[in-house]
Amino acid sequence: MKTVITVQELRQARSSLPNPLGLVPTMGYLHAGHLSLVERARKECASVAVSIFVNPTQFGPNEDLAAYPRDVDRDLSLLEQAGTDLVWLPTPEIMYPPGFQTWVEVEHLTRPLEGAMRPGHFRGVATVVAKLFNAVQPQKAYFGQKDAQQAAVIRRMALDLNFPLQVVVCPIVREPDGLAMSSRNTYLDERQRQAAPVLHRALLAAQAAFQAGERQADKLRQVMLETLQSEPLARPQYVSCADPETLQEIEGQAPPGALLSMAVYIGKTRLIDNAFLGL
Ligand code: PAF
């Protein structure tokens, strides 16, 4: 496994890797969810590259950029074991050199849900992912379904900007108690960790209501909210039942495949989760 830092080093190392190359963009502090993306890339591609970059432009002023967990040595050893060929560890100065002023904005898809709560977040994500795509030139790029809106935004961007690659979105990996894997789970203390699977329970409750015949999107949102409210440590920020393509809230009947999603504070930690209705 080769580790590189500058764009020049990356280009040189990349040029000797066979195609198709699969890219797994990450912010490090890897867990089983990230490793499932590497594993999938390993199966589908002749070579695998992983980027580790805690991207400052996707964090808001009051978000956890400085506190974001980091452990590069551990990440590198996990990636080596997982059969990664190339790891790119750019610095913020490499990604955003002095005078940087070019941004990628995906319009409508970034407005609801996470975009409404985290202004500027998806501009940072779309910009850095476009830069990763340009620098690494992968044939396939792997993202997790846990960030459902991010996956939709990146798919749209790849299409709109004619990136010659396939965006592959992989299933959420969960802890045995249902909590979706996330680097942010490490912020939770013991009591909060016990409370956190309530997000998954809320999704399951909406799924159960749908199976029992409930079709009204409003009712499904209410079922999720009530489940979240049964956990005293949970403070829901939003619950949603949205069109999976446009991400607009559904009014009236929710069809199978609608995207159920939520953001919930457990203490100071903001967790997200989602599921496709009826699937
Ligand atoms: O999902 C993430 O870890 C990040 O948003 C990504 C895609 C690596 C861009 O910084």
CA separation, residue 84 to residues 16, 17, 61, 168 (Å) = 14, 11, 34, 17
For the chain, the C-alpha Rg in angstroms (whole number) is 19
> Taking a C-beta distance cutoff of 8 angstroms, is the pair 51, 13 a contact?
no
- Tens digit of each residue's pLDDT (9 = 90 or more) over 218-253: 999 999 999 999 999 999 999 999 999 999 999 999
- 20 preceded by a cis bond (ω within 30 of 0): yes
Confidence of residue 48 (pLDDT cuts 50, 70, 90): very high
From 34, 108, 121, 200, the catalytic residue: 34
Residue-wise pLDDT for 108-141, tens only, equals 999 999 999 999 999 999 999 999 999 999 999 9
Q: Report the amino acid identity of residue 206.
A: A
Domains, the chain, in order of start with CATH, read: 2-170 (3.40.50.620), 183-274 (3.30.1300.10)
pTM given for the model: 0.98
pLDDT, residue 53, reads: 98
Structure tokens at 114: 């996470």
Ligand 1 centroid to Cα of residue 224, in Å, is 27
- Structure-token pair, residue 13: 């190392």
Q: How distant, in Å, are the alpha carbons of 49, 151, 171, 222 from that of 139?
A: 11, 17, 20, 42
Q: How far is the CA of 89 from the centre of ligand 1 (A)?
A: 13
Minimal-distance CA residue to ligand 1 atom 6: 26
Residue pair 244/256 in contact (Cβ under 8 Å)? The answer is: no
Distance of alpha carbon 34 from alpha carbon 268, whole angstroms: 24
Half-sphere exposure of 121 (CA within 13 A, CB side): 21
Ligand 1 binding pocket mutation candidate from 24, 26, 110, 114 (most atoms within 8 A of CB): 26
Residue 30 has pLDDT above 90, yes or no: yes
Pocket-testing residue among 55, 65, 132, 272, ligand 1, by greatest number of atoms within 8 A of Cβ: 55
Q: Predicted confidence band at 279 (pLDDT cuts at 50, 70, 90)?
A: confident
- Calculate the average pLDDT of the chain: 98
Give the residues surrounding ligand 1 with Cβ less than 6 Å away.
25-27, 55, 58, 125, 128-129, 147, 150
The Cα 174–Cα 179 span in angstroms is 5
Q: Locate 140 and state its tokens.
A: 């396939």
Residue 198 has pLDDT above 90, yes or no: yes
Closest by Cα among 29, 24, 27, 259 to 149: 259
- Which residue is closest in CA terms to ligand 1's atom 8? 26
Atom of ligand 1 lying closest to residue 58 CA? 10
200 labelled catalytic:
no
